[in-house]
Structure formats: structure tokens, C-alpha cells
A and B are shown apart, each in its own frame.
Chain A
Amino acid sequence: MIEVSHVTKTYGKKHTAFTALNDISLTIPDGASVAIIGKSGSGKSTLMHAMSGLDRPEKGKVIIDGKDILTLKPKQIDSFRAHQMSFIFQSFFVQANESCYDNVSLPLEIANVPAVKRRKKIESALQAVELLDKKKSRARDLSGGQKQRLAIARAIVNEPKIIFADEPTGNLDTVTGGVIEDLLFDYNKNQGATLIIVTHDSELAAKCDMQIHIKDGVIEKMTTKSREKK
């Protein structure tokens, strides 16, 4: 369970100060799929950064599994991210010069997974996104959709509990975007991982269990699919 309570994040100083997040509180149950929706500059990315410990809001708490990650030491947050979370980005951020295999290997290396255990994990992750036959190809030779599938393989290889996806289909056409969405939701359903998607695509948002609309740093509206409204 992710609990965000009274989080405030301000950029800049004094008269140029800009409040990106203003006293945000929300709760995300384990295994849910959540869409954070808003225009650019609304604070939706900042919220994602705060929840993943990449950014440090000056006020509030982010409690994941009972621990306030904002009070952890950098070393512990890094370890937390390495073992519990992963990311998918709009521009993929796959390492163009490296093979698909090495791209997927990166999170395992960072999480100190012994070399002997990596191979099986990497191959099953590539299998899941149907890129196993490309494992020796360089990432730069892949198409956009394949790159994002590779990014998904990289995101799921270490079996994270939470996946953050920042506009995962933003750079893709509808068909390939659909494939990516299916992969993400499948993983969310089958593995019980929490999926948090930052997007301004209302169709994609509608597929999630929960929608959080953000505007000017505050939650404008929160809807849940089959459960009670908050």
C-alpha cells in the first residue's frame, strides 16, 4: 500500500517560488492500476517522483509498506528503488549501443543479483515481451514499439512491486501503444504489482482501476472503477 499524506513540493525561492504539489494526500492499495492524469506542468510527474523517492518534497510523508521513504537515507532509498520499483519512460531510455540482453541486465546488476541467477530472469523477461529472438541485437536496431517492449522487459525483470510508467505510449502509434498497454496491464493483473501510469491520454486512464486528476498541484478529482468514490 502506498500512502501519500500532505505532500508539498516547491521549486525556486521566495518570490519566484512555484508550488508543484500542494498538500496532496492519497492512498493506493497494493496491486491497483492507477492513472495520474493532468496537463503538462500540473505536477503529475512531480507526484510520481515524490512517490518513487527520486524527489524529496519538503513537507509530508510517503509511506510504502509502513515505511516513510522520505525519512530513509539515500543508500536505503536507492536499495528500495533497486528492489521494489521500476520505471518506464515516454522516450524509452534504452541504451542504444547495448544489446537487448545487456539492457535488461542493468537493473539486476544494480540490485546486486549474482551473475548465475541473471540469465534465467533476463530470458524470461525478454520472453514475456516477445523479444527473446532479439536478445543479441543492439537496441538501436529496434523499432519504437520494440524499444518500449524492451523497456518493459527491463522494468519487470527484477519482479518489482511497483511500476511507474511516465507516458508509456506517448511516442507510439495506437496499435503499438495498445500492445504496450496490454503488456503493462497483464503484468499488473498476473503478478499483482501496483501500476502507476502518468498520462494525459484519457482512454489509457480509463483502463485503470483508479484515476487521479491533478491540476496546479492539487487533486482535482479522484475516481475508482468498481469501488467507492473517494
Chain B
Amino acid sequence: MRIRDTIRRAGRSLRQAKARTLLTSLAISVGAFTVTLALAAGAGGQAYTDSLIKSNGDAKHLSIMAKVNNQSDTPKEYGADDGSGAKQGVLTDRDVTKIKNVAGVSEITPAYSISAAYMTRGGGAKKYDTTISIKADRTALSLAAGSLQNNQVSNGSIIVPEDYLPVLGFTNAQDAIGKTLTVHIEKPSIMLGYPSAQSEDKTFTIAAVDKKSTSVLQYRAALRISTDDGKAIYDYQTAGIPQSDQYYTINVRVADNVDVKSVQQAIENDGYTVFSLQDIQQTLFQFINIVQWGAAGFGFLAILASVFGIINTQYISVLERTQQIGLMKALGARRKDIGRLFRYEAAWVGFLGGAIGTLLAVATGLFNPAIAKALSLEEGTKLLQFNPLTSIVLIVSLMIVAVLAGYFPARKAAKLDPIEALRTE
């Protein structure tokens, strides 16, 4: 028999036993539904984690800190010098030079600690306390207005938090873009309690307004300026005092085509403590994977259970159609044809079950907005993400599983003796 005719006949005999076919398929669809949903949730979880990480940090960014002692966290004897600049958990320019020479490091910036006395729009406007920080990494900010190139501030520009706008007299975020803001910088007084000896005004152009995002784990409202501007302020504030050129953290940006992990390893080998976003990301992904495959495991169990349903249904089908099988054999149908007829029936059942389960799971995806709302995630977050390829692979696998389950019933059918099958008494 031709394959097409066999498939058609298989489909027709399933249609003639609609209830039985549907029930058997539903058993499989439970498994397919669970697996699809687990994989979708896993994919969604990873995508969400990814966006979370991106808005909380820059994947190419490394934070470097000193170990208490070179190569180890055990304190070393006072006065002993091991050649590295690291001393008492503080990094110096010697460390900067050393790390700069590590292959794969494209940018290196010490975390300059700077402060501002106040900010003002000038011309007699009120003065306000403020926090100022340097945007050294390329972490994405969620912007209310304006734009940034590569998530960096250009020299002379400044990012203002949305919360600052009302006191600065801007009506909305767009209104602030392109306007200037003056930051007053003071040199620390030599002696505590005395007024500062020196101070200066720095004027910046507002390039962007950022706002708090729900996906940012920790948000601090601060004015953000470029590394060069920050360094200038740092140099101004620390010139001539003993604490100059000492840093707790050095920020490193890894070159674009270089593996972050290997650079991190190289710097760690030089005797520093290095934190990267990848560390966190990997831990989170690992967690999501465990949950995802755990849930999928239940789906696989359901599929295993439905296999027995298929075997049972197919055996009943063979018994019911003994005469048909006998007739076909008498008319010259080969064993192979009969076996194939029943295997295709099983495949149809597997296909139906897979398709029903997948469709139901995809329909669950319509609840994505509700899920995001219930978990108070950022609007538009899709925690269930379906991949058509995965679904196709799943459905095809279920068809194969069904065919394997139908092996024994199909063999029984193929082996039927036509004389016995057609005996009327």
C-alpha cells in the first residue's frame, strides 16, 4: 500500500472512534502541556533575568577590589612589601597600571570618590543638596527623556534623575534636556570644622533624565557625569592631600571580542578580588534551569503514563478490527502494510495529543500580562515565551513515542492469521 493511502486510512479509522481517539490524545496532551509550559517559563525566566541583569549592570564590566594580602585574604606583617601596590585593602595607581597590562582590558577607571556641595540652575536660583557620581560602566538606564550613546555620558554633559526635576523648576523631563545645571565643588577643609578654603562651579548640559525602573534592583537618585569630568573633580578635590590616588574599587571594561571570564580569571591570578555580572547571571540561570527541568520532568512522567493509554487503545483497536485486518490480508495486504496502518494511527494520536497540549499551553501565554501584574514585574514582561521550534520538536517526539508505544499492538495486528480473522462461526 502507498504511504499516503495508509495515512488516510489510519486517519479515517481514528475519526470513526472519535471519543476514544480524543481521550487518548488528551492523556498525552497533559504531558505536552506541562512540558511546553515549563520550557516557556524557563525561556521567559531567562529572558527576564537577562533584562534584569542588563538594567542592573554591564556584562562587560568587572569590579576589582584588593585582597587584604596579596594572593590571600590572610593579613600580612606590617611593613613588609610584596611588590604589589595593594595595601590594607586599598588600590593605588600602581595597581591600575598593573591591571591595565592584562590582555583584554580595554578601559580602566578607578572608582573616584567625589562629592558636590550643592547644585543650582544659577542666576540666583535656589541651591539644593545633591549626590554626584561617575557613570563608568555601560549599564542601561531607563530614560524619561534625552538619549545616551552606548549608555555613556559625554564630557560636559550630565544625567539628572526625574525626582530632581520639580525642585530644579523643570515642568517635565523633556523640558530639562539641553538646559544647564551648575554643580558647586568644594575642596575639603584641612581641619575639621573650618570652612572650605577653595571651591569652584562646574556647569553641565543636561543630556538625559533617568527614572526609577521596576527591574532595577537598587536605584540611587544621583547626578551622573562622565569619567573624565569625574576625574577632574577628583583631582581638584584631592590635590595635595595624603588620600589621593587611593581607591577601593577599580572598574574595568573588557574589550568587545574578548571572553569576560578569561579576563576575570587573569586579573584574579594577579591577586585581586574580581566581581562580574556573569557570576550573578550564571547563578540565576542555573536556578532557572533546575526549576524548568524539574517542571518538565513532571510533564515527561505524564507522557510516560499516557504511553500505557496508547498501548491499551491500540490493542482494543486491533481486537475491534480483526475482520478488517483479515479482509485486508485476504485481499493481498502485506504484514508490513497492516503494521504500518496501526503505527500511523498511533502517530496520529501522538500528533493530536502534542498539538492539543501545545495549543493549550500557548493559549496560557495570553495570561502573560496578568502574570506580570500579579508578580508586579515591569509592564510588557512576558514570563511565558514559546519557541515554535521547540513545539515542533516536542510534537514530532510525541509522534515517535506514540509509534513506539503502538509497536506491540501493531505487531499483533500484522501477525493475525487471516483465516482465523475471517472465521464467521
Say whether A and B bind each other. Answer: yes
- Contact assessment for A93 and B332 in the assembled complex, using a CB-CB cutoff below 8 Å: no
- Residue B5, interface by CB 8 Å: yes
- Contact assessment for B331 and A81 in the assembled complex, using a CB-CB cutoff below 8 Å: yes
Q: Give A171-220 interface residues, CB cut-off 8 Å to B.
A: none
- Contact assessment for B334 and A54 in the assembled complex, using a CB-CB cutoff below 8 Å: no
* Complex interface: stretch among A58-66, A94-102, A141-149: A94-102
The count of residues in chain A whose C-beta lies closer than 8 Å to any C-beta of chain B is 30
- Contact assessment for B331 and A86 in the assembled complex, using a CB-CB cutoff below 8 Å: yes
Q: How far is the CB of A175 from chain B (nearest CB, A)?
A: 23
Q: Do A98 and B12 form a contact, CB below 8 Å, given A55-B419, A107-B331?
A: yes
- Residue A127, interface by CB 8 Å: no
Q: Do A75 and B327 form a contact, CB below 8 Å, given A54-B419, A110-B1, A112-B2?
A: no
- Residue A32, interface by CB 8 Å: no
Q: Which residues of B contact A93 (CB under 8 A)?
A: 323, 326-327, 422
Q: What 0/1 pattern do residues 397 to 425 of B give for CB contact below 8 A with A?
A: 00000000000000000000011001010
Q: How far is the CB of B337 from chain A (nearest CB, A)?
A: 7
Nearest to B336 among chain A residues (CB) is A75
- Contact assessment for A78 and B418 in the assembled complex, using a CB-CB cutoff below 8 Å: no
Determine chain B's interface SS by DSSP, over half rule. helix
Q: Give B219-256 interface residues, CB cut-off 8 Å to A.
A: none
In whole angstroms, how far apart are the Cα atoms of A115 and B2 in the complex?
10
- Residue B330, interface by CB 8 Å: yes
- Contact assessment for A112 and B330 in the assembled complex, using a CB-CB cutoff below 8 Å: no
- Contact assessment for B422 and A89 in the assembled complex, using a CB-CB cutoff below 8 Å: yes
In whole angstroms, how far apart are the Cα atoms of A110 and B332 in the complex?
7
Q: Do A110 and B422 form a contact, CB below 8 Å, given A93-B327, A97-B16?
A: no
- Contact assessment for A75 and B422 in the assembled complex, using a CB-CB cutoff below 8 Å: no
- Contact assessment for A95 and B324 in the assembled complex, using a CB-CB cutoff below 8 Å: yes
Q: Give A102-118 interface residues, CB cut-off 8 Å to B.
A: 102, 106-107, 109-112, 115
In whole angstroms, how far apart are the Cα atoms of A112 and B331 in the complex?
12
Q: How far is the CB of B358 from chain A (nearest CB, A)?
A: 29
Q: Which residues of A contact B13 (CB under 8 A)?
A: 97
Q: Do A90 and B16 form a contact, CB below 8 Å, given A83-B332, A111-B332?
A: no
Q: Which residues of A contact B (CB under 8 A)?
A: 49, 52, 54-55, 74-75, 78-83, 85-87, 89-91, 93, 95, 97-98, 102, 106-107, 109-112, 115
Nearest 3 pairs between A and B by C-beta? A82-B332, A81-B332, A109-B5
Q: Which residues of B contact A (CB under 8 A)?
A: 1-2, 4-5, 9, 12-13, 16, 323-324, 326-335, 337, 418-419, 422, 424
A-B contact pairs, 11 of them (CB 8 A): A54-B330, A82-B332, A83-B332, A89-B424, A93-B326, A95-B324, A97-B13, A106-B331, A110-B1, A110-B337, A111-B332
